[in-house]
Amino acid sequence: MKKEVVKPPRLKQGDTVGVVAPAGPFERDPFDRGIATLKTMGFQVKVPEGIFEQKNYLAGSDEHRAKLLTELFQDPAVRAIFCVRGGYGSARILPFLDFKQIAANSKIFVGFSDITILLAAFYHKFGLVTFHGPLVTTLGKSSERTRDILLKAITSDQPVTLTPSEPVVLHPGHASGPVLGGNLTNICHLIGTPHEPGFAGALLLLEDRGEPAYRIDRMLCHLRLSGRLDDIAGVVLGSFKDCGDINMVYDIVKDNFADREIPILAGFDIGHDAENLTVPIGLRATLDTEGGMLRFDEPATSPL
C-alpha cells in the first residue's frame, strides 16, 4: 500500500529557521560559520537557549534534547529546523519526543549521519518528508553546489534531480519508489525497533564514514538476513569516506545484491564528503542508471 506523505511548507527568503542538537555536542567555530552561512542564504536564525549544554558525548540529557526539538516544531515563528551535528544520540531521544505535537506542526527538517534516525522515525510515524542534507557545522565549509541544491530542495516549486559527479553503475536498470535510508550504520540500528520504516518498494539510499570494508559487509549482510532488502526497488549509493578502497565497497554491495535484478547506481555526492547534496527522504523518485540520475517526481515542499 502506498504511504501517504506529508510535504512540509516551502521556505522563502527572510523566514526564520531554528537550529537544534539532537545528538552530539559541537565546537563553536564551525557552528558560528554555519549560522553565518544560513544568514547569507537569506534566513533569520533562532538559536534556542540550552543548545550549548553538554553531557559527556551528548548535547545535554535525552529529555533536554527532545524538549528543545519538540519546542522548535511547536514554535509558529520557526519555518524549518536544521540539525547542528550528528555524532551519536538521536536514538536516545525517541522515547521522549512528542510525535503528536511534531506531526501537528510539520515543517522542514534537515540533517544527516546520526540524524538518519530521526529522518526515518518522522517518516515512519506520520509520513513527513524530511531532508538528508548538510548539518549546521558542515554548512560553513560546504560547496556552492551543496548550498544550491539545499536551497532548491527547500525553497523551489521544482522537483530535485540529482546526478553523480562520477557515476558508477553496479547493476543497470530503472525503478521508482520513495527514497528512504541514509547512514548505513544507523539504518542497521533501527532494525527491530518500533521506529523502523518499511523499505518495501523503496529506493534505498546508503552512505557511511570510517567503517572498514568488513563492517560494511556485516551491516549489509544483517539487513539482507533480516529480510529488509527483499523487496526494495533500487539502491542509491552516496559517499563512503574513510572506508578504504571504494571499489572493494562496491564489490561488497554487488555481492549482497547478487540475487536481485534491481538498479544500483553509485557515486552520488551524498554524505560525509566535501559535497553533500540534499535528498528529500520519503518522496517518490525514479532511479535511472542509463541516464545516470535520481529524479524526484514532484517538489519536496508544499506551497506557502
Q: Write out the three cell numbers for 273.
A: 564528503
Alpha-carbon distance of 101 to 189, in angstroms, equals 25
Q: Write out the three cell numbers for 57.
A: 558525548
Please state the φ and ψ torsions of residue 131, each to the nearest 5 degrees.
-135, 115
Residues catalogued as catalytic: 113, 207, 272
- Specify which residues 179 forms β-bridges with: 203
What secondary structure letter does DSSP report for 13? Answer: T
- The residue type of 217 is D
- The residue type of 299 is P
Alpha-carbon distance of 249 to 230, in angstroms, equals 20
Cα within 13 Å of Cα(203), Cβ side: 29
Distances (CA, A) of 180 to 116, 139, 280: 10, 23, 9
